[in-house]
Chains A and B, each alone.
Chain A
C-alpha cells in the first residue's frame, strides 16, 4: 500500500511536472539570453486556449488533431513572446514591468479569457485530449510501468528536449554564443555576435515552449478550458529556472518535485487522507516563495550562476 502510494505520487509528479518542465525549459533559454520573462503565465494561458480551440476545430485523425493543437499553441505562445521581445529588446523596456504586463494582458481575465468567450471554447470539453500511452505494452509492469512506460507523448518529448537543450547550451557554438549574450552582451557584440537576434530568437523559443506547457493543461490535465486554468504554473516555472540553476537537467528534477507537490492534494484526497486541501494546494506556491526569497539576494544570484546580464537591456556604448 505504502509502496504503491509512492509510485502513484511519483507517476503523477511526472504528469503534473510535464507542463512545468516545458515552460521552465523555455525560461532557461530566454533567461540564458539575458531576457527576464515574467510573462510565462500569460503565454501558457494563451497557448492553453489556442490548443483547446484547435482541438475543437481541427479535423482529421486523433493524432493529427493533437499534433495541430500543440503546434498552434506553440505559435500562439511564440507570438506573445514576440511582443515581449519587442518590448524588452527593441524598446529596451524594463523587463520586469514588460513581463508582468504580458501576464496581466494575456492571462486570466485578459486576452485568454476573451478568446475563450469569443471562440466559445469553454462550452464543451476538449474532444481529443492527449492520452497516456502504453509504451511497448509495458504500462502495467509493476513499479517501472507507471514511472516510465505510461505517459503522454509530450512527457517523452520533454525528456528528449532536456537532453537536446543541455547539448545545445554546453556543447555547441550557438549555445556558447547564447550564453555569452546573456553573460556579457558587450563582449558578444564586440566579437560580432548579434545580441538582438539571439535575444529575439530565444525569447520566442521560450514563449513557444510555454505555449506547449499551457496546451498540456487544456489537453491533458484539465481536458477542458476554464479561465486561468494554469493556476499560477507560470510563476512556478519562473522559480524553477532559478531552482535549476539555469540548467535543463536540474530543471527537470525541480519540475517533478513541484509536480509532486501539485498532485499531492488530488492523490491524497483520492485515498481519503484527511489533510487540508487548501494547504496542499498552497504548497507549491509556498515553496516558490521560499525558493525565490532564498535565491533573490544579489550574492546568491551570482553564486548560482544567473546570467550576469539577466534583465538588463543592452545598449551599445556610443560617445
Chain B
C-alpha cells in the first residue's frame, strides 16, 4: 500500500503581485506516509498547501489525487475529496463545545442535533487516535494543544484521507508535540497520509518518512528521512554557500565599548506566553549585530521590549550603562533607543498623516517644535524639508500623506525620523523587507553610514544574506533564546541555517 501515490503535484506555479510564490513545484505524496515539507519562511510551503486545499488556484501545473486529475475551487471541494488542512491559526468557535465545533458545517449532521450521540462519536474518534480531549468542554477552556486536537478531529470527522498540518508544533509544548507525533503515527498506520509543514530540523527528522525541501518557490529535492541528516537538510534549505561580499566599513566596530546591554531579558508574546527566555546580548559602539532566525522565534518581542513597547518579565535593558524603565516607550526614546519596527506603516508611522507630522512625532516636545503646548508649524516644516533633502525622500511635498509614498520612501521617512533624534542604539526589524532593489541598497547604506558614525545597530532580519553582509556579529534566535553569537567573519550559512532550525551545535561558537 505504501507505494501508491496519493497526491502528485507537478509544475505548480502561483504568482502574486510582485512575487512568484511557487515556481514550478514538484511534489509527490505516497499513501500512508508522513511527508515533511521543509523550507524557510517565504519558500512557498504555505502557498503550496493552500493550493492543495483549494484556497488558491494554481496559475500553472496539475494536481492528481489517487491518479486522477483534480481541480479545487474552494476548501470545501478539497475536503469533500478527502484533503483537510489543520491551520496554524485555529478555525474554532471558542464559545462552542468541542463536539459542536467538530460537527459544524458537516453535511451529514442531522437537522435536529442529538448532542449525546454527537459527543459519543467525537469521543470515540478522539480515543481512536490517542487524543485526550473532552467533547463537552468549551473550546475557550482548552489549552492550545487541546485546541489543535479539536482542529485535527474536525478534519478526521469529515473523513479526510490526506491531512496537512501547517507548523503544528509552533504552539505546542514538547510533551504536547510528542503526543501529536503519536497521533500522526496512529493515522498513518490506518492508511491516512500526513503532510507536515515545518522549518524545524529536529522534529522533521523525528516524525517524517520523507522530506521535500522548498527554497524560493522551487523544489530543491525530496529525500528519504532515513538517508539524510540535519546538516544536508540545512544546506538544502538555505542554499549552498554563495559568494557575497561583506560591506566595507570606514570605522571598525568597537565591540567592547558596549552601548546596548540586554541582560537576562524575558517577555511575553501577545497571548501572554513566554516568548523570550533570558536573552543576554550586547551591541558595541559602531557595531551592527545581526539577529538571525525564522520569524516567530521571539525577534519581534525582543525588539519591542528594547523599544519600551512591551514589558520585560525578567532582566533589564541598558543603554550606555543606564537601565531603561521597562514598558515605557518614552523612557526608551529618552535613553537613546531608535526603533524601526517591522510594520512600518502601522507601528512605525501614522500612515494617514503628512510627512512633516510624522517626522516630528518623536521631537515635537522639544522647544524647537512646540511652545506652551502649541506646535510651531513653520519650524516643523523647515525641519521636515531639511530631512527630506538629506535622506533623499521622494515626495511631492512635506504635506503629502505618508501612505501615498512608495515603500522605499516610507522607510526613508522612518529612518530620517529615527536618526534625527540623535540615538545611541537603533533597533531595525526587517528594515528592507518588501522594498525594491534600489531602496534596499539605500536603506543598507544608511545603516552602515550610521554605524560608521558610532551608532550601535541591532539588525533583525530573516534575510540571511543581508545579515551576513552587514553584521559584525550574528546572534541566532530559536524559540525565544539566543542560541549562538558568532563573529560574522567566522560564520557560514550552513551553520547558521542549522542553528535557525534548532539544531544543537557540537563544537562551534
- A residues touching B (Cβ–Cβ < 8 Å)? 171-174, 176-177, 179-180, 183-184, 186-188, 190-193, 305, 308, 319
Considering the complex, give the chain B residue whose CB is closest to the CB of A305.
B95
Question: Is B112 among interface residues, defined by CB-CB distance under 8 A?
Answer: yes
Q: Is the CB of A193 within 8 A of B105?
A: yes
Q: Which residues of A contact B103 (CB under 8 A)?
A: 176
Most buried by A among B74, B103, B110, B113: B113
Q: Which residues of A contact B94 (CB under 8 A)?
A: 183-184, 308
Considering the complex, give the chain A residue whose CB is closest to the CB of B14.
A319
Tell me, in angstroms, the Cα distance from A184 to B93 when the chains sit together.
6
Q: Is the CB of A172 within 8 A of B93?
A: no
Contacts A186-B91, A188-B104, A192-B76; A172 near B112 (Cβ below 8 A)? yes
Q: Is the CB of A187 within 8 A of B95?
A: no
Q: Which residues of B contact A188 (CB under 8 A)?
A: 93, 104-105
Q: B residues 40-76 with Cβ under 8 Å of A? A: 56, 74-76
Q: Is the CB of A192 within 8 A of B75?
A: yes
Q: B residues 252-294 with Cβ under 8 Å of A? A: none
Contacts A187-B91, A191-B91, A192-B76; A179 near B105 (Cβ below 8 A)? no
Q: Which residues of B contact A193 (CB under 8 A)?
A: 104-105
- B167 shortest CB reach to chain A, Å: 17
Contacts A180-B104, A192-B79; A173 near B109 (Cβ below 8 A)? yes
Question: Is B16 among interface residues, defined by CB-CB distance under 8 A?
Answer: yes
Q: Is the CB of B113 within 8 A of A191?
A: no
Q: Is the CB of B104 within 8 A of A191?
A: yes
- B90 shortest CB reach to chain A, Å: 8
- B11 shortest CB reach to chain A, Å: 21
- B72 shortest CB reach to chain A, Å: 12
Question: Is B100 among interface residues, defined by CB-CB distance under 8 A?
Answer: yes
Q: Which residues of B contact A319 (CB under 8 A)?
A: 16, 56
Q: Which residues of B contact A186 (CB under 8 A)?
A: 91
Contacts A191-B104, A319-B16; A184 near B113 (Cβ below 8 A)? no
- A314 shortest CB reach to chain B, Å: 13
Contacts A183-B94, A308-B94; A176 near B79 (Cβ below 8 A)? no
Contacts A180-B104, A192-B105, A319-B16; A173 near B95 (Cβ below 8 A)? no
Q: How many residues of B contact A (CB 8 A)?
A: 26
Question: Is B364 among interface residues, defined by CB-CB distance under 8 A?
Answer: no
Contacts A187-B91, A192-B105; A180 near B96 (Cβ below 8 A)? yes
Question: Is B92 among interface residues, defined by CB-CB distance under 8 A?
Answer: yes
Q: Is the CB of B16 within 8 A of A187?
A: no
Question: Is B111 among interface residues, defined by CB-CB distance under 8 A?
Answer: yes
Q: Is the CB of B113 within 8 A of A176?
A: yes
Tell me, in angstroms, the Cα distance from A176 to B74 when the chains sit together.
22
Q: Is the CB of A177 within 8 A of B105?
A: yes
Contacts A192-B76, A319-B16; A187 near B111 (Cβ below 8 A)? no
Q: Which residues of B contact A308 (CB under 8 A)?
A: 94-95
Instruction: Tell me the interface secondary structure of chain A in the complex.
Output: helix
Tell me, in angstroms, the Cα distance from A176 to B96 when the chains sit together.
9
Contacts A190-B75, A193-B105; A176 near B100 (Cβ below 8 A)? yes
Q: Which residues of B contact A180 (CB under 8 A)?
A: 93, 96, 104-105
Mark each residue of chain B from 140 to 167: 1 if its CB lies under 8 Å from any CB of chain A, else 0: 0000000000000010000000000000
Contact of A171 among B79, B109, B113 (CB under 8 A): B113
Q: List 10 A-B contacts (CB under 8 A).
A: A179-B96, A180-B93, A187-B92, A188-B105, A191-B104, A192-B75, A192-B107, A193-B105, A319-B16, A319-B56
Q: Is the CB of B93 within 8 A of A173?
A: no
Q: Which residues of A contact B93 (CB under 8 A)?
A: 179-180, 183-184, 187-188
Contacts A184-B91, A190-B91; A172 near B113 (Cβ below 8 A)? yes
Q: Is the CB of B112 within 8 A of A187?
A: no
Q: Is the CB of B110 within 8 A of A173?
A: yes
Q: Is the CB of A183 within 8 A of B95?
A: yes
Considering the complex, give the chain A residue whose CB is closest to the CB of B105.
A191
- B390 shortest CB reach to chain A, Å: 36
- B95 shortest CB reach to chain A, Å: 6
Instruction: Given contacts A171-B113, A173-B110, list 5 more A-B pairs with CB under 8 A.
Output: A172-B111, A183-B96, A187-B93, A187-B101, A191-B91
Mark each residue of chain B from 97 to 128: 1 if its CB lies under 8 Å from any CB of chain A, else 0: 00011011111011111000000000000000
Q: Which residues of B contact A172 (CB under 8 A)?
A: 111-113
Tell me, in angstroms, the Cα distance from A191 to B105 when the chains sit together.
5
Tell me, in angstroms, the Cα distance from A190 to B92 when the chains sit together.
10
Q: Which residues of A contact B92 (CB under 8 A)?
A: 184, 187
Most buried by A among B56, B92, B95, B96: B95
Considering the complex, give the chain A residue whose CB is closest to the CB of B53.
A190
Considering the complex, give the chain A residue whose CB is closest to the CB of B107.
A192
Tell me, in angstroms, the Cα distance from A191 to B92 when the chains sit together.
10
Considering the complex, give the chain A residue whose CB is closest to the CB of B158.
A191
Tell me, in angstroms, the Cα distance from A183 to B93 when the chains sit together.
6
- B169 shortest CB reach to chain A, Å: 21
Q: Which residues of B contact A190 (CB under 8 A)?
A: 75, 87, 91
Considering the complex, give the chain B residue whose CB is closest to the CB of A306.
B95
Contacts A171-B112, A172-B111, A192-B75; A177 near B104 (Cβ below 8 A)? yes
- A184 shortest CB reach to chain B, Å: 5
Q: Which residues of A contact B104 (CB under 8 A)?
A: 176-177, 180, 187-188, 191, 193
Nearest 7 A-B pairs (CB), nearest first?
A191-B105, A192-B76, A187-B91, A190-B91, A183-B93, A184-B93, A193-B105
Contacts A186-B91, A191-B105; A173 near B111 (Cβ below 8 A)? yes
Tell me, in angstroms, the Cα distance from A176 to B109 when the chains sit together.
11
Q: Which residues of B contact A191 (CB under 8 A)?
A: 91, 104-106, 154
- A98 shortest CB reach to chain B, Å: 23
Tell me, in angstroms, the Cα distance from A187 to B139 when the chains sit together.
13
Q: Is the CB of B111 within 8 A of A174?
A: yes
Contact of A173 among B75, B79, B113, B154 (CB under 8 A): B113
Q: Which residues of A contact B75 (CB under 8 A)?
A: 190, 192
- B246 shortest CB reach to chain A, Å: 35
Most buried by A among B56, B74, B79, B105: B105
Tell me, in angstroms, the Cα distance from A97 to B16 when the chains sit together.
35
- B21 shortest CB reach to chain A, Å: 8
